[in-house]
């Protein structure tokens, strides 16, 4: 998983060094629908939005995050009428065998961990050339966003850090190694 300082030529998002054509997953998806012209992007939005509302047994409700591997949505699993987090590999049909193996390994590794602070995996699959996994949806937002929005006093911050350290240690003991992105406070 070689992540470099490269950015998408279209939107400026950070991309993996082995990303096809050097574009992020969202821009690659749009390329498959049309061209990189801004006026075509506006015309494609309604079609892309309609196409992305349904994903097999899942109704996509909103995007809640994205990373180097894929996009995470709050979704409704139709067959069980429950809200889940659905992670879809961002490269879709452009994903190489290495990307697919890395994505599946992430899902399998997370599914092996049973811990109260680790979100359980419900399902792993493939739909229309895109790999995905669903997991329990947890309310509250992303930690980095929450911390930037409101300052945390020393004691709760220390308690949270201990909880995170114990959870990472639990994963390490089971052969799972986490890469933690350093966030600068500027």
Q: Which residues make Cβ contacts (< 8 Å) with residue 43, sequence separation at least 6?
A: 34
Give pLDDT, residue 21: 56
Give pLDDT, residue 6: 67
Give pLDDT, residue 134: 94
3-state secondary structure of 181: coil
Structural domains in the chain?
A: 3-139 (3.30.200.20), 140-186 (no CATH)
pLDDT by residue (tens digit) across 71-123? 899 999 999 999 999 988 876 667 778 878 887 887 888 888 899 988 899 99
- Determine the average pLDDT of the residues in 147-152: 83
Give pLDDT, residue 158: 93
d(CA 164, CA 152): 15
Give pLDDT, residue 135: 93
Give pLDDT, residue 2: 40
Contact of 61 with 107, CB cutoff 8 Å: no
Read off φ and ψ for residue 7, nearest 5 degrees: -125, 155
d(CA 123, CA 132): 8
pLDDT by residue (tens digit) across 6-15? 666 666 666 6
Q: Which of 31-45, 48-62, 135-149, 163-177 has the lowest mean pLDDT?
A: 31-45
Give pLDDT, residue 34: 42
Residue 150 has pLDDT above 60, yes or no: yes
Q: Which residues make Cβ contacts (< 8 Å) with residue 27, sequence separation at least 6?
A: 8, 9, 10, 11, 13, 36
Name which residue leads in pLDDT, 74 or 21: 74
Residue 58 has pLDDT above 60, yes or no: yes
Residue 145 has pLDDT above 90, yes or no: no
Residue 1 has pLDDT above 50, yes or no: no
pLDDT by residue (tens digit) across 22-50? 666 666 555 544 444 444 444 444 444 44
């Amino acid at each position: 998983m070689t992540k470099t300082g490269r950015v998408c030529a279209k939107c400026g998002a950070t991309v993996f060094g082995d990303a096809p054509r050097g574009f992020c997953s969202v821009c690659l998806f749009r390329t498959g629908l049309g061209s990189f012209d801004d006026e075509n992007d506006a015309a494609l939005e309604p079609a892309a939005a309609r196409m992305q509302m349904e994903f097999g047994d899942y109704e996509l409700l909103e995007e809640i995050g994205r990373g180097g591997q894929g996009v995470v949505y709050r979704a409704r699993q139709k067959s069980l009428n429950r809200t889940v987090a659905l992670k879809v590999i961002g490269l879709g049909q452009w994903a190489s065998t290495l990307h697919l193996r890395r994505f599946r390994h992430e899902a399998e590794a997370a599914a092996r961990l049973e811990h109260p602070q680790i979100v359980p995996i419900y399902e792993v699959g493939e739909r229309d050339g895109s790999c995905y996994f669903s997991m329990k949806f947890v309310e509250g937002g992303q930690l980095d966003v929450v911390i930037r929005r409101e300052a945390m006093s020393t004691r709760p911050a220390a308690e949270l850090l201990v909880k995170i350290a114990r959870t990472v240690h639990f994963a390490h003991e089971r052969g799972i190694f986490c890469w933690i992105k350093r966030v600068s406070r500027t």
